[in-house]
Chains A and B, each alone.
Chain A
Amino acid sequence: MSKGSDTRRHRRDFIKTGAALTATAVAGFPFVSRAQNKPIKIGMPTIQSGRAAMVGSSSRNGCMMEIEKFNAAGGLNGRMIELIARDTKGKPEEAARLSRELVNSDGCEILFDSESSAGAFAIHEVAKDLGVVVMHMNTETSSLTADPKLRVPTAFRASRQGIHDSIAAGSYAAKIAKDKGLKKWISCSPDYAYGRDSTALFLEYLKHFYPEVEVVGEVWPKLYQPDYTDALTKILQIKPQAMYSCLWGGDLTAFVDQSTIYNLFTQMESFTINVADYTILTAIKNLPKGLHSSNRYLSTFPKSEANAKWAADYRAKFNEYPITWSWENATGTKFILEGIKKAGTTEAKKLADAIRGMKIESPFGVDGTVTMREEDQTLVNYAIGWGQTIPKDPFMPDVTAVDWKVIYELETAWKKKNNYT
C-alpha cells in the first residue's frame, strides 16, 4: 500500500467534489454575485516534508473530514471552504513566512496552525500582527494559551494541552505506583521544550498524588535521535521501578524497538504516554504488553458510537488510521465552521467572538461535547484516559477516563503559581 498515491487520489476526489459543488452552486443561484460565491479560503501552514511529514497529511485529513461535510451542506450561503495547505518544512521562519503569504497573497481569511510548537509560536505572532483568526491544532505547549502575555484575541487552540495531560498522567500513574509500591522513577523524554515541560509537570503531579516517589534519574535523548542505546544503558544502570517517557512518533517506535531487545519493559513499569496512537501501535512490529499510555487517539475511547463511526469513516476515506492530529484538526475545524455559521461571517473579530466559549458536539468529548474555554481560548473537556497495551487490535482494551474536575482544580493552582491569572 502506498500512502502517496492515496493522498493524491483524495486530493483529486476533493478537487472533483469541490468543482462539482461549485458548479451546482453557480447553476443553482445564477443571480448570486460572484463576490458572494467566492470561496472562504483557509490557510494551513503545516509540515509536509522531512521526518515529521505525517503531521501534514494527518492534520489535513482531519480538517477535510469536517470541511467536506460543511461544503456538502452548502457552505456559508453558498460560499465553500477551500483549504490551502503549504509545507513549512518544519522551519518556524517558513511557517511565519507562509502564514503571512497565505493571508496577504492567497487571500486566506483564517489560519489553521498545524505546525510543531516552535512553528506555532511563529504563526501566533503573525496572527497577532495581521489580526486574523488562527486555530492552533497541534501544539500542546501550555504557555501558548495559558500565558496572558502571549494572548491574542483571535487565536484559539483546539489541541490537547500539556498541563491537562500531565495532571491526568500524574493522577493515573500515582494510583498504579501506590498499588505496586513504585517509588524509584526515571524519566526518558525528548530533549526539547515539549519533552522537558511535560516531564517536569508529570513528575510534579505524580509527587502531588504520591509524595513517596523519588526521581532517581533522567535521560534526555535528542529529538530525532536515531539511536537510544546510550539512554537505555543508562536507565538499566540505574535500575528504577518505573519509567516515564513522552517520546513520540518515529522516535518512540525506535525507542520501543530498541528497549524490547534490552528486555527493558519486563524490568520496570513503563508509562510511555504517547504509545496509544494508531501510527505507533501499528508501526511497532512486536508491541510489548502492558505499557501504560494515555489515549492519543483510539476509536474505542470514548466508547461511543459517534467515535467509532468517525474512525470508520476516516479509515474508509483515507485508507489509514486516524491519529491524534486527525481528531485535533477535525475538532479545530469544527469550531471554526460552527463559528462561521453562528457569526454568519468570516470577519475576524466577529468570528472570534462567536468561537470564544463555544460548546460543540464532538465524538472526542467526555460527554459528547467539547468546549472552547472562554478565559484562555483553549480546548477543554476532551476525552483523556489511560490504559495498558496488548500486542494486537484493539491494542488498549480497557481505558480509564480521567476526571476533568481534578484537572480543572490543579490547572487553576498551576496557573496561579505561574502568575498566569
Chain B
Amino acid sequence: MDLPALGNCVTSLSCIITQSTSGLIIGMLLFLVAAGVSLIFGVLKVVNFAHGSFYMLGAYLTLTVYGVTGSFLLAVVAAAIGVGLFGLLFERLIISRVYGSQVLMQLLVCYGVILILDDLVKIIWGAEFRSLGMPDVFLKPPFLFGGGVVPVYYLFLIVLTLIIAVLLGLAITKTRLGKIVRAVAVNPGMVSALGINTGLVYAGVFLLGGMLAGLAGALAAPVRSIVSGMGLSVVVESFIVTVIGGMGSVAGALVGSLLIGLVRSFGTIGFPLFTEGLMFLLMAVVLVLKPSGLFGRET
C-alpha cells in the first residue's frame, strides 16, 4: 500500500488528468466487451462466459485481415462482422439449447466453448503471442494535454468508443428495435404475442454483442499482445462491470467500465499490489448495498 503516493497524485492536477485519461482508455475497450455481456444477461438471462473468446477472435481476425490487406479499417470491419456472425452461430447452435437451464449448466457450456476456441486459435494462428503493430496513420507524436500526454491512437479509441456508447444508448432507448429489446427483457411472452419473433431478438442481441466484442478485439490488436487465452481477464472484468453497473443497462456498463478503469489507474498508484482485489472489493460492496447494480432494476 502506498497511500502517500496516492495522496500526492490526487493533489496534483496533472496527475489527476493523466490517471483519469488512463482510466478512460482502460475503461473504453472494457466497455465494448462489457456492454455485450450486460445486454445478453439483461435480455436473455444468460451468463455468457464465452464473451472473452469473442474478443480474442476479434483480435485474431484483425491480425489476419490486416496482414492480408494492409488496411486497418477493413480489418476492424471484418472483425466486427465476423465475430458478430460467430455470436449468432453460437447462439443458434449452442446457447439456445440451454436457455432456462441452471446457470451452472450454461456456465459449463460456455467453458467448453472457451476451451475449444482457445485451442483452435492455437492450431490456426500458433501458440506464440502475436503483435499487430501500430497502423501508420496513427504513428504520430502524442498530444499534450493539461500536463499529460494522450497518444493519437488512444484519442481515436476514446472518441470512437464514446460515439458507439452514445449510439448504443440511443439505439436501445430511442429506436423501435431497442424498445423491443428492452420489452423482451421484461416480458418475452407478451412481445411474442404482439407478433414479434423473440427468437430473432435473442439472436440479434448475440449478433450485436459479438460485433461489439469483435470490435473491441480489433481495436485492442495494435496495442495488446494477441495470444490464445487473452479473453479471460477481459471477461472476468466484464462481469465485474456488469454487476456494478446493473445487468442489461448500457449506461451502467459505461459507468462500470470507467469505474474499473479509474480503480485500475489510481489503484496502481495507491495499492500497487491489490488492484485486482480492489475491483472485487468494489463488486462486493455494490452487491451488498444494491444487488441489482448502480443502474439496475430491482427485481
Contacts and interface: CB of A to CB of B under 8 A. Distances in A.
B6 to A, nearest CB: 11
Interface centre among A2, A230, A231 (most CB of B within 10 A): A230
A230 B265 contact: yes
Contacts of A250: 129, 225, 227
A221 B18 CA distance: 17
Contact of B233 (A224, A229, A231, A249): A224
A283 interface: yes
Interface residues of A, number: 46
A222 interface: yes
A224 B229 CA distance: 10
Interface in A360-413: none
A149 B25 CA distance: 47
Contacts of A233: 18-19, 21-22, 148-149, 265
A219 B273 CA distance: 10
B153 interface: yes
Nearest to A283: B131
B222 interface: yes
Nearest to B29: A227
A262 B149 contact: yes
Given A250-B227, A254-B225, A257-B134, A54 B129 contact: yes
B127 to A, nearest CB: 4
Contacts, number: 151
A257 B151 contact: no
Contacts of B198: none
Contact of A236 (B133, B149, B225, B265): B149
A82 B268 CA distance: 47
B293 to A, nearest CB: 24
Interface stretch (A13-21, A36-44, A45-53, A330-338): A45-53
B193 interface: no
Interface residues of B, number: 55
Interface in B127-170: 127-134, 138-139, 141-142, 148-149, 151-154
Contact of B126 (A3, A232, A251, A253): A3
Given A53-B122, A229-B265, A261-B154, A279 B227 contact: no
Contacts of B142: 261-263
B268 A234 contact: yes
A217 to B, nearest CB: 8
Nearest to B55: A226
A4 B122 CA distance: 7
Contact of A51 (B9, B132, B230, B276): B230
Nearest to B8: A237
Contact of B133 (A222, A229, A286): A286
Nearest to A256: B131
A234 to B, nearest CB: 6
B129 A253 contact: yes
Interface in A69-102: none
Contacts of B272: 191, 218-220
B223 A261 contact: yes
Contact of A253 (B131, B148, B268): B131
A285 B229 CA distance: 22
A222 B265 contact: no
Contacts of A283: 128-131, 225
A53 B228 contact: yes
B215 interface: no
Closest 6 CB pairs of A and B: A285-B133, A3-B126, A250-B129, A250-B225, A53-B127, A261-B151
Interface of A: 1-4, 48-51, 53-54, 56-57, 191, 218-222, 224-227, 229-234, 236-237, 249-251, 253-254, 257-258, 260-263, 279, 283-286
7 contacts: A51-B227, A227-B224, A229-B26, A250-B225, A262-B142, A279-B129, A283-B130
